[in-house]
Amino acid sequence: MAKIMIVDDNRDIAETLKTIMEIEKHETELAFNGEEFLSKVENVKPDLVLLDVMMPGLKTKEILMKLKEKGLGDLKIMLVTVVRFSDEERKVLMEQFKIRDYVTKPFDVPNLINRVRKALL
């Protein structure tokens, strides 16, 4: 069992991810924007973060930079997004911020579960 923090401004998607992760016996914490995530992350101490890319307020790169500033740059992060990155964009983002993986929406639940399991290793 792991502690997974879900960050998505779409409450339906956040609740769906929460349900999936809880069926898998993971403990979950929700945040609905980057600011809320950054205010909670140090207390929650998640094993993995499922982070939406397109949210109002802070952009994904700003959130990731602020994590580095807080000394949390090694936090395991998986992006969950409708954004389709080019191979080059994905490579740069994953290397620069040590992103474990990314899953596109709409997601296939068994595939998501398998990728979460791999990201937790």
Give the burial class of 103: count Cβ atoms within 10 A of its Cβ; 0-12 exposed, 13-18 middle, 19 or more buried. Answer: middle
Under 8 Å between Cβ of 38 and 64? no
Choose among 17, 31, 49: nearest CA to 113: 17
Domains of the chain: 3-120 (3.40.50.2300)
Give the burial class of 102: count Cβ atoms within 10 A of its Cβ; 0-12 exposed, 13-18 middle, 19 or more buried. Answer: buried
Q: What is the pLDDT of residues 73-115, one digit of tens each?
A: 889 999 998 877 777 877 777 888 889 998 989 999 999 999 9
pTM of the model: 0.92
Q: How far apart are CA 67 and CA 80, in angstroms?
A: 18
* Span between the terminal Cα atoms of the chain, in Å: 12
Q: What is the 3-state secondary structure (H, E, C) of 64-95?
A: HHHHHHCCCCCCCEEEEECCCCCHHHHHHHHH
Q: Which residues pair with 4 in a beta bridge?
A: 28, 48
Q: What is the pLDDT of residues 15-59, one digit of tens each?
A: 999 999 999 999 999 999 999 999 999 999 999 999 998 888 898
